[in-house]
A and B are shown apart, each in its own frame.
Chain A
Amino acid sequence: MRKIDSYDKDFLISILREMNFIRRFEEKAGQMYGLKKIGGFCHLYNGQEAVAIGAVKALDMKTDYILTGYRDHGHALAVGMDPNAIMAELYGKSTGVSRGKGGSMHMFDVEKHMLGGNGIVGGQIPVAGGVALMQAYKGTGGATLVFFGDGAIHQGSFHETLNLAKIWNLPVVFICENNQYGMGTSYDRVSSVTDYSIMGNSYGIPSWQVDGMDVIAVYEELGKAVKQAKEQALPAFIEIQTYRYKGHSMSDPAKYRSKEDLEAYKQKDPILGLKARMLDAGLITDEQFKEWDKEDKKRVQDAIEFADKSPEPPLSDMYEDILA
């Protein structure tokens, strides 16, 4: 665990609270799925909160962009997208971020530079390369972060884009959120190497592993990668080792792994870990945290009420948003 003593208290509180909010949001999303208010595939982010929050904190979202895969609620919340509109999207309502056309896997907020939310494993990786190409072409000074899971690591899209990013000097940071299971398959059963960070070497791209249960580690290491991308036009590839507490999606009971493994990871919980360090340092009290948690639960409840009350889209909506 990285030290926190060099950090501003308010900054640490914001990280802690934003991670906690994602956790509370996802717990409620899971419940609403159980009540059939949310359908389809619903990939929850519980356990991985430090990745999205640590990474986004290292960015300037005025010039930087992020793209991700289908497990995207956490990234959407991390960039500050409206939780009401995210919940409404999960409900398929017209007030949702994508007017009810995208659902769980397709959270977009162009103004906030969140470009999805992609349902095809690895499909977003070349697209992110293109966003970085625009940044290089126009000299915007920003970088693009693209998140994908360990399942995407063997896709051609990953390898092709790493190569393109290096030969074209694109300011892109590739982030593998290795939560150890591509759906129900343990990553070490389907990977010729288990230290993914060596894969970047094939393309001359600096690559390294980061502890994804430690939000400060993610923040610090992403900061280095983003700086390198912006200042040297040098891409980076980071394997962030994390763990998902739930199944692949809500339809997956996750019987392929042991309770002991899950419990071991919960001992390293990113939210409780940061909270403990902040308590130790006397930066917060338990009472404060409980109060914040109560506020977070209330905000999630508000999102549920917003989604519940939102109207179904009119049928004529099906013909819209197809061509510009």
Chain B
Amino acid sequence: MAIIAMREALRQALDEEMTRDENVLLMGEEVAQYNGAYKVSKGLWEKYGDKRVIDTPITELGFTGVAVGAASVGLRPVVEWMTFQFGLLAIDQIINNAAKLRHMSGGQLKVPMVVRGPNGPAEFLSSQHSQSFASYFMHIPGIKVVAPSTPYDAKGLLKTAIRDDNPVIFLEAEMYYGWTGEVPEEEYTIPFGKAAIRREGEHVTLVSFSKPMKMLEEAAEELAKEGISAEVIDIRSIRPLDEETIFGSVRKTNHVVVVDEAWPQASVGSHISGLISAKCFDDLDAPVEFVSSEDVPMPYNHTLELEVQPTVAKIVAAAKKTLYREG
């Protein structure tokens, strides 16, 4: 199997879907002639031309709304937000139109569009360019939200997203476009609403999504050295959420650490922690541990910046705490 980078896996998904369905088009800042700010769309403009790979001005509200309208009458636009930080300017179009046109029209309209781009903390970018907004979108009925953590998942989930008849928010991470992994050349898709068990374990369940997954796997390695067997769950699909796989693991291990690189309040992680606490109360041998970002804007200074976020050490410590093995 070929080993390729995340950006290449995403590009393969876009390329295959654009070849398969002429209603699929890509639009966003720098996606065409510049080959994409993060080079995800490299080569697509040369292949598909101006009509299907469309450079936009820096107007997220405008072009996201255009995609909503185009989707409502039969096209399948993929919108690239250069980062989800800029996507805030377009959130009205996501919440009030993309997610609601079907409802307000009593089921007459559907809005098959994908909004994708980097989300979450990056490096040396201070507080406006280094924020995770997954929970903003998880909050909204009428859309789906997915966040791959491997090139394999990135390709399979993006293909599913493009074929889905609903608006799909596709969260990538600025820091992981160069991450590599095995991706088959042949056609495959990954269904939404199914979490992945990345590592089987018995003593504690570690749950997260997107970029922190690498930390979870490293933490599991660290814990293994101390004889602690961790099960690692990648939820992949934030909305719909595969509660059963999470709960099933907690029923097995009776201890859980939830990790989210976003701020703690009203986050994906706090939601999952709350669900586990409520639905698995009788199975828990310790309170749910939650490792999140510190509740502060992201500092520029690198030492502070790293310490604001979840770390392998924090996850290991949380796992030990839930197992009453501190110190």
Contacts and interface: CB of A to CB of B under 8 A. Distances in A.
Interface of A: 65, 67, 96-102, 106, 108-110, 115-120, 123-134, 137-138, 156-157, 160-161, 163-164, 167-168, 320-324
A127 B92 CA distance: 12
Interface of B: 25, 51, 54, 56-57, 59, 61-75, 77, 92-93, 96-97, 101-110, 112, 141-142, 144, 165-166
Contacts of A130: 65-73, 75, 77
Nearest first, the 9 closest Cβ-Cβ pairs linking A and B are A130-B69, A126-B65, A160-B62, A99-B106, A98-B106, A127-B69, A108-B105, A324-B165, A130-B70
A102 B97 contact: no
Contacts of A118: 96-97
B61 A157 contact: yes
Contacts of A134: 69-70, 73-75
Contacts of B64: 126
Contacts of B63: 126, 160, 164
B103 A167 contact: no
A101 B166 contact: no
Nearest to B75: A134
B165 A123 contact: no
Given A108-B108, A120-B96, A123-B65, A323 B70 contact: no
B62 A157 contact: yes
Given A110-B108, A137-B51, A324-B165, 7 more contacts: A100-B106, A108-B105, A110-B105, A120-B92, A156-B59, A323-B102, A324-B112
Contacts of B71: 130
A127 B62 contact: no
Contact of B106 (A102, A128, A133): A102
Contact of B59 (A109, A123, A163, A322): A163
B167 to A, nearest CB: 9
A127 B68 contact: yes
Contacts of B67: 130
A102 B70 contact: no
Contact of B108 (A98, A133, A163): A98
Which residue of B75, B93, B103 has the most chain A CB atoms within 10 A of its CB atom? Answer: B103
20 contacts: A96-B106, A97-B106, A98-B104, A108-B105, A115-B109, A120-B92, A123-B92, A126-B64, A126-B69, A129-B62, A130-B65, A130-B71, A131-B73, A132-B69, A137-B25, A156-B61, A322-B102, A323-B142, A323-B144, A324-B112
Given A123-B92, A129-B65, A130-B67, A164 B105 contact: no
A94 to B, nearest CB: 9
Contacts of B104: 98, 101-102, 106, 108, 116-117
A126 B68 contact: yes
A20 B62 CA distance: 36
A320 B108 CA distance: 12
A43 B184 CA distance: 56
Contact of A163 (B57, B73, B106): B57
Contacts of A127: 65-66, 68-69, 72, 93, 97
Nearest to B27: A133
B107 A129 contact: no
Nearest to A106: B104
A129 B97 contact: no
A93 to B, nearest CB: 11
B102 A126 contact: no
Contacts of A164: 56-57, 59, 62-63, 66
Nearest to B51: A137
B326 to A, nearest CB: 44
B41 to A, nearest CB: 18
A167 B56 CA distance: 9
Given A118-B97, A160-B59, A321-B102, A137 B70 contact: yes
B114 to A, nearest CB: 14
Contacts of A133: 66, 69-70, 75
